[in-house]
A and B are shown apart, each in its own frame.
Chain A
Amino acid sequence: MQFGGLKAVCDLDLTVAQGELVGLIGPNGAGKTTVFNVITGVYAPTQGRVTFEGRTISGLKSNRIASGGITRTFQNIRLFSRLTCLDNVCVAAHPHRQAGLTSALLRTGGFERDEAALKQQAMDMLEVLDLEAFADQPATSLAYGQQRRLEIARALAGKPRLLLLDEPAAGLNPQESEELMHLIQEIRKRFGLTILLIEHDMKVVMGICERIAVLDYGLKIAEGSPFEIRNDPKCIEAYLGAELPK
């Protein structure tokens, strides 16, 4: 992925197997979020391609990729600020509706059933994330940690098979990130998800990821189990800097 003269992510070869929980880490500006943006179709890659379940998805529009089974959360929370929590989640369930525009305007029985089912699904999703009490509150009235959870609820409502989490623990206190770790594992099991996780909180990454890929300046510098990554000299250098030559 190249922006003008800037190579943001270069020659990245990353495979995530079905059901895996893979971490994507790296210093600030390494290109982690750019990888998410390429996968979800925000950018079309300037070179190379992205495949999902055997099909090439690079070049597809974002909304097609989302309804095709890949949803995401955002690093800088992007909730629909003037909608209620329930409506935020309902928006994401939108691609799975059946009733069209005319039945919505005529308020047919089919539409009413469809709408009720959609609300119920959204409500269930809020319950999973422990947010059902806030269903009718505007999304922006939630506390920061709750807003992060609402983003996850919203992404899950799109019935993804691959979930991309962009720094879900950012700004959370230690106890909250502990809870988040359990939550991620729980939703993964419950919905049979494959998860790709960007995270700076090493406790979270090392605690739940089965495999970790490390990016630095747009290049993948290491990939392996949490144990391998922790002892990889290149990773230590990227994060902490190299030792001075003796």
Chain B
Amino acid sequence: MKRFLSLIAVLVALVALNVLLPRVTNPYHFQILMLIGINIVLAVSLNLVNGFTGQFSIGHAGFMAVGAYTSAMFTIKLGKPFAATLTLLPEPVAQGVALLMALVAGGLVAAGAGWLVGLPSLRLRGDYLAIVTLGFGEIIRVLLLNIEAIGGARGLSNIPTYANFFWVYGSVVVVVVVAVRLAHSTHGRALFAIRDDEVAAEALGVDTTKYKVLAFVLGAFFAGVAGGLFAHFLSYLNPSSFTFLKSIEVIAMVVLGGMGSITGSILAAVVLTLLPEVLRPVKDFRMVIYALMLIVLMITRPQGLLGTREWSLGGLFRRGGPAKGAA
């Protein structure tokens, strides 16, 4: 009952903000807010792989691209005509249904890609795994660049802009709830065990193969969802949005926030999305200062903003208490 009430409360808050925010903020601020939401989904999903399980993946933009193009094509070919048939529903609801289907489709195809990459990668660790995921990301980008049916280098335009505040931040809530519940379950502990000592985890009965694939599949699914939101928010996709640099940007969020810390990923996603915008007045020096700030942050807090801890209101009052383990 309590859980049901909080679900209702979250939905009401999302709907209210969805109506209110576009009216009280200017379009530029609103766009940043939406990109922050999408980046939170990306950072938390990558944290499942890199932070929770300790598998260094640098191909997250690839999964995002798979989800983005799949969901965009889904909406263009199926979702939009389908939404038009739902004449009984108010327009935003009909579009929401179409978007939800597109996001799930994008997420599932991305998860399939995550499974494919995860399987051969299981025998690889550290640097070698990183290279495989890097290769995957680049293959996806080059493929997108060369498939004419989805726009190729011209990009894919006229994607219906179904993604509003409700869907972006609704996805944020879902990915965070999934990550937190995973962390506080026997499955999450299995992932942490793999991160800390794979040999010991295996010797204690943890099916490391299964759990590494699980982390990849879950992470890829939500990266695909983030891609779908991105497509339906900007209405235009281009392969150049999913370069290696995008993957690095998401990794920076996970590392900066603290590996394995969900609130850390959220905080870092907010900071790293805002920073380039805040630095606009310094013009040419923008990326120089951005990079410098990253370097200084990593020198002063190598464990990330939050380390492996979680930020909570309660935690503020018990500083100095025994540090809790990851998540």
**Chain A residues in the interface with B (C-beta under 8 A):** 40, 42, 61-63, 66-67, 71-72, 74, 78-84, 87, 90-95, 97, 99, 101, 104-105, 107, 111, 114-115, 118, 136-139, 154-155, 158
Contact partner, A104, options B182, B196, B325, Cβ 8 Å: B182
Min CB distance B318 to A, Å, is: 13
The reply to whether B205 and A80 contact each other, CB–CB distance below 8 Å, is no
Asked, given contacts A87-B325, A104-B187, A105-B182, whether A95 binds B196 with beta carbons under 8 Å apart, the answer is: no
In this complex, which of A62, A84, A97 has the most chain B Cβ atoms within 10 angstroms of its Cβ? A62
Q: Which residues of A contact B23 (CB under 8 A)?
A: none
The reply to whether A63 and B189 contact each other, CB–CB distance below 8 Å, is no
The reply to whether A71 and B187 contact each other, CB–CB distance below 8 Å, is no
- Answer whether residue B199 sits at the interface, using C-beta atoms and an 8 A cutoff: yes
Min CB distance B3 to A, Å, is: 8
Q: A63-B207, A97-B186 are in contact. List 13 more A-B contacts (CB 8 A).
A: A61-B202, A61-B209, A66-B202, A71-B205, A80-B193, A80-B196, A90-B189, A92-B204, A94-B189, A94-B190, A94-B204, A111-B185, A136-B322
In the bound complex, CA of A97 to CA of B190 (Å)? 12
- Answer whether residue B145 sits at the interface, using C-beta atoms and an 8 A cutoff: no
- Answer whether residue B181 sits at the interface, using C-beta atoms and an 8 A cutoff: yes
Q: Which 9 A-B pairs have the closest CB atoms?
A: A66-B205, A95-B205, A80-B196, A104-B185, A78-B200, A62-B202, A67-B205, A92-B204, A84-B325
Contact partner, B324, options A111, A136, A155, Cβ 8 Å: A136
In the bound complex, CA of A101 to CA of B211 (Å)? 11
The reply to whether A138 and B323 contact each other, CB–CB distance below 8 Å, is yes
In the bound complex, CA of A53 to CA of B304 (Å)? 49
The reply to whether B190 and A91 contact each other, CB–CB distance below 8 Å, is yes
The reply to whether B203 and A91 contact each other, CB–CB distance below 8 Å, is no
The reply to whether A82 and B204 contact each other, CB–CB distance below 8 Å, is no
The reply to whether B193 and A83 contact each other, CB–CB distance below 8 Å, is yes
Min CB distance A92 to B, Å, is: 4
Q: Which residues of B contact A74 (CB under 8 A)?
A: 200, 203
Task: For chain B, residues 280 to 314, give those with C-beta under 8 angstroms from any C-beta of chain A.
Answer: 308
Nearest residue (CB) in B for A86 is B325
**Total A-B Cβ pairs within 8 A:** 108
Nearest residue (CB) in A for B196 is A80
- Answer whether residue B208 sits at the interface, using C-beta atoms and an 8 A cutoff: yes
In the bound complex, CA of A129 to CA of B1 (Å)? 40
Per-position 1/0 for B201-230, Cβ under 8 A of A: 111111111000010000000000000000
The reply to whether A82 and B325 contact each other, CB–CB distance below 8 Å, is yes
The reply to whether B206 and A91 contact each other, CB–CB distance below 8 Å, is yes
Min CB distance A91 to B, Å, is: 4
The reply to whether B181 and A63 contact each other, CB–CB distance below 8 Å, is no
The reply to whether B189 and A87 contact each other, CB–CB distance below 8 Å, is yes
Nearest residue (CB) in B for A101 is B187
- Answer whether residue B178 sits at the interface, using C-beta atoms and an 8 A cutoff: yes
Q: Which residues of B contact A66 (CB under 8 A)?
A: 202-205
In this complex, which of B200, B202, B206 has the most chain A Cβ atoms within 10 angstroms of its Cβ? B200
Nearest residue (CB) in A for B192 is A83
The reply to whether B260 and A82 contact each other, CB–CB distance below 8 Å, is yes
Q: Which residues of A contact B325 (CB under 8 A)?
A: 82-84, 87, 138-139
In the bound complex, CA of A81 to CA of B325 (Å)? 9
A-B contact pairs, 16 of them (CB 8 A): A62-B202, A71-B205, A80-B200, A82-B260, A82-B308, A83-B192, A83-B193, A90-B186, A91-B193, A94-B204, A97-B186, A104-B186, A104-B187, A107-B3, A137-B322, A139-B325
In the bound complex, CA of A137 to CA of B324 (Å)? 7
In the bound complex, CA of A61 to CA of B182 (Å)? 25
Q: Which residues of A contact B322 (CB under 8 A)?
A: 136-137
Nearest residue (CB) in A for B323 is A138
Min CB distance B181 to A, Å, is: 5
In the bound complex, CA of A137 to CA of B323 (Å)? 7
Nearest residue (CB) in B for A69 is B205
Nearest residue (CB) in A for B177 is A105
Per-position 1/0 for B151-174, Cβ under 8 A of A: 000000000000000000000000
- Answer whether residue B326 sits at the interface, using C-beta atoms and an 8 A cutoff: yes
Asked, given contacts A80-B193, A82-B192, A82-B326, whether A155 binds B185 with beta carbons under 8 Å apart, the answer is: no
